[in-house]
Amino acid sequence: MDKTPPLEMTGLSAEEKLVFLQALVAEHRQSEIIEFFASLTGSEIANLIESFPYDARDALWEGLSDDQKGEVLSSLNESARAHLIKNLDASEICEVTHHLDAQDTADILDSLQDKRGEDVIDMMALSRRDEINQVLAYESDAVGRYMHTDVVRIRENIKLEVVQRYLRIKGEIQKNTLELMVVDGEHHLLGTLHVVELLRYDPSLLVADIMETPEKVLDTMNAIEAAKLLRFKNQHFAAVVNESGVLVGQLTAADVLELTVEEGDQTVRHLAGLENEIDLFAPVRKSVNARTLWLGINLATAFLAAAVIGQFEAVIAQVVALAVLMPVVASMGGIAGSQTLTLTIRGLAMGKVIGSNQSVLFNKEFAIGLINGAIWALVVALISQIWFQDVMISLVIGTAILINMIAAGIAGVLIPLVLKRLGQDPALSGAVILTTVTDVVGFLSFLGLATMLILK
Amino acid sequence: MDKTPPLEMTGLSAEEKLVFLQALVAEHRQSEIIEFFASLTGSEIANLIESFPYDARDALWEGLSDDQKGEVLSSLNESARAHLIKNLDASEICEVTHHLDAQDTADILDSLQDKRGEDVIDMMALSRRDEINQVLAYESDAVGRYMHTDVVRIRENIKLEVVQRYLRIKGEIQKNTLELMVVDGEHHLLGTLHVVELLRYDPSLLVADIMETPEKVLDTMNAIEAAKLLRFKNQHFAAVVNESGVLVGQLTAADVLELTVEEGDQTVRHLAGLENEIDLFAPVRKSVNARTLWLGINLATAFLAAAVIGQFEAVIAQVVALAVLMPVVASMGGIAGSQTLTLTIRGLAMGKVIGSNQSVLFNKEFAIGLINGAIWALVVALISQIWFQDVMISLVIGTAILINMIAAGIAGVLIPLVLKRLGQDPALSGAVILTTVTDVVGFLSFLGLATMLILK
Which residue segments constitute the domains of chain A, with CATH numbers given?
A: 14-141 (1.25.60.10), 153-271 (3.10.580.10), 284-453 (1.10.357.20)
Q: B262 or B409: whose pLDDT is higher?
A: B409
Rounded Cα distance between A394 and B347, Å, is 44
Q: Is A439 in Cβ contact with B22 (below 8 Å)? A: no
| Dihedral over alpha carbons B94, B99, B102, B107 (to 10 degrees) | -60
Residue A36, amino acid: F
pLDDT of residue A175: 79
Within 300-329 of A, beta carbons closer than 8 Å to B belong to 301-303, 305-306, 309-310, 313, 316-317, 320-328
| Mutation for B interface: A352, A382, A394, A429, most B CBs within 10 A | A352
pLDDT for position A3:
38
pTM reported for the whole predicted model: 0.89
Residue closest to B280 by CA, chosen among A364, A265, A420, A356: A364
- Mutation target vs B (from A328, A378, A428; most B CBs, 10 A cutoff): A328
Chain A hits for B299, CB-CB cut-off 8 Å, are 328, 332, 376, 379-380
Minimum-distance CB partner of B313 among A10, A256, A320: A320
**Mean predicted confidence (pLDDT) in B74-78:** 91
Compute the distance between CA of residue B29 and CA of residue B344 in angstroms, rounded to an integer.
51
- pLDDT for position A171: 72
pLDDT of residue B339: 93
Q: What is the pLDDT of residue A6?
A: 36
> pLDDT truncated to tens, each residue of chain A (456 aa)?
333 333 343 467 788 889 999 999 999 999 999 999 998 889 889 999 999 999 899 999 998 999 999 999 999 998 899 999 998 999 999 999 989 999 999 999 988 878 888 899 999 988 899 999 999 999 989 999 999 888 999 999 999 999 988 988 887 788 778 889 999 999 999 999 998 888 888 889 999 999 998 889 999 999 998 998 888 877 878 999 999 999 999 998 888 998 998 888 888 888 888 877 788 898 899 899 889 999 999 999 999 999 999 999 999 999 999 999 999 999 999 999 999 999 999 999 888 999 889 999 999 999 999 999 999 999 999 999 999 999 999 999 999 999 999 999 999 999 999 999 999 889 888 999 999 999 999 999 999 999 999 987
DSSP state of A212: B
Give whichever of B13-17, B289-293, B364-368 has the largest mean pLDDT: B364-368
Q: B351, A15: Cβ pair inside 8 Å? A: yes
Mean pLDDT, rounded, of chain B: 90
Q: How much is the pLDDT for A11?
A: 60
Rg, chain A, Cα only: 29
Nearest CB partner across the interface for A268, out of B268, B325, B376 = B268
- Note which residues in 146-165 of chain B have CB less than 8 A from chain A: 164
- Is the CB of residue B203 less than 8 Å away from at least one CB of chain A? no
What percentage of chain B has pLDDT greater than the value 90? 66
Interface of A with B in 87-126 (CB under 8 A): none
Strands ordered across the beta sheet of A179-183: A153-155, A179-183, A189-194
Q: Name the least confident of B168-177, B226-235, B380-389.
A: B168-177
Residue B2 has pLDDT above 60, yes or no: no
Q: What is the mean pLDDT of residues B122-139?
A: 91
Mutate to test the interface with A, among B201, B295, B379 (most CBs of A within 10 A): B295
In chain B, which residues have their Cβ closer than 8 Å to the Cβ of A324?
Answer: 306, 309-310, 313
Q: Can you give the pLDDT at residue A400?
A: 98
CA–CA distance, A270 with A266 (Å, rounded to integer): 6
For residue A412, list chain B residues with Cβ-Cβ distance below 8 A. Answer: none
Rounded CA separation A29/A20 (Å): 11
